[in-house]
Amino acid sequence: MSAMHVESSTSARTRMKELLDTAQRGHVATVTRDGVQVALVDVVRMQHFLASIISSRAEVVQEGAGWSVFIPGLPVAADGATFDGALGEMVDALREYAEDWQERLSAAPNHRDNWGLVQLISLSTDEQLRDWLVGVSR
C-alpha cells in the first residue's frame, strides 16, 4: 500500500490503524474534515526533517565568567556559568517559547511564521535541541 487519503473523521476513526501504519512507513497519510486536509507524519521523520531544514542560527558568546546564547530574530536568550549550562538554559527557554507560541503567539504577525520551529522544539528531546543549537546533525 502506498498513499492513503481518508475523506472524513468518521472513516479515519474506523481506519486509524491503517492510517498510522501508512504514516509510520513514511508514506502519505491524510484525513480530510470539513474541507481541511491534515497529514499524519511519523514523529521521528518529522523531527529529523525539520532539524535538517531549520538552521538554529544560535550565537554563543563568552561574557566575563559566563556564556550567553541567543537566536537573532527570536525573543529567546539564555545565560549560564558554563557553555553547557548556557545551552541547557537555552533549551528551557526554547520550550517556554514553544508553549507561549501555542497559547497566544501563533496569531501574532511577528511570530506566526515560527510554526516549523515550534514543531521542531516540541518534537525534540533536550539532547536533540542541544545538537541543533550547536549544528550537530545525526
Question: pLDDT tens track of the chain, all 138 residues?
Answer: 689 999 999 999 999 999 999 999 999 999 999 999 999 999 999 999 999 999 889 999 998 899 999 999 899 999 999 999 999 999 999 999 999 999 999 999 999 999 999 999 999 999 999 999 998 766
What does the domain layout of the chain look like in residue ranges?
A: 4-41, 45-134
Alpha helices in 1-138 (DSSP H): 9-14, 16-24, 43-53, 83-103, 115-123, 126-134
pLDDT for 11: 92
User: 62 — alpha (psi -120 to 50), left (phi > 0) or beta?
Assistant: beta
For residues 8-23, one letter each, b for 16 or more C-beta atoms within 10 angstroms of the residue's C-beta and e for the rest, the string is eeeebeebeeebeebb
> Can you name the residues that pair with 101 across neighbouring β-strands?
none
Helices 115-123 and 83-103, interaxial angle, to 10°?
120
Dihedral sign for Cα atoms in the order 98, 100, 103, 104 = negative
CATH code: domain 45-134 is 3.30.160.620
pLDDT for 47: 95
90 SS3 class: helix
pLDDT for 63: 86
Residue type, 11: S
pLDDT for 137: 67
Q: How far apart (Å, rounded) are the C-alpha atoms in residues 4 and 28?
A: 6
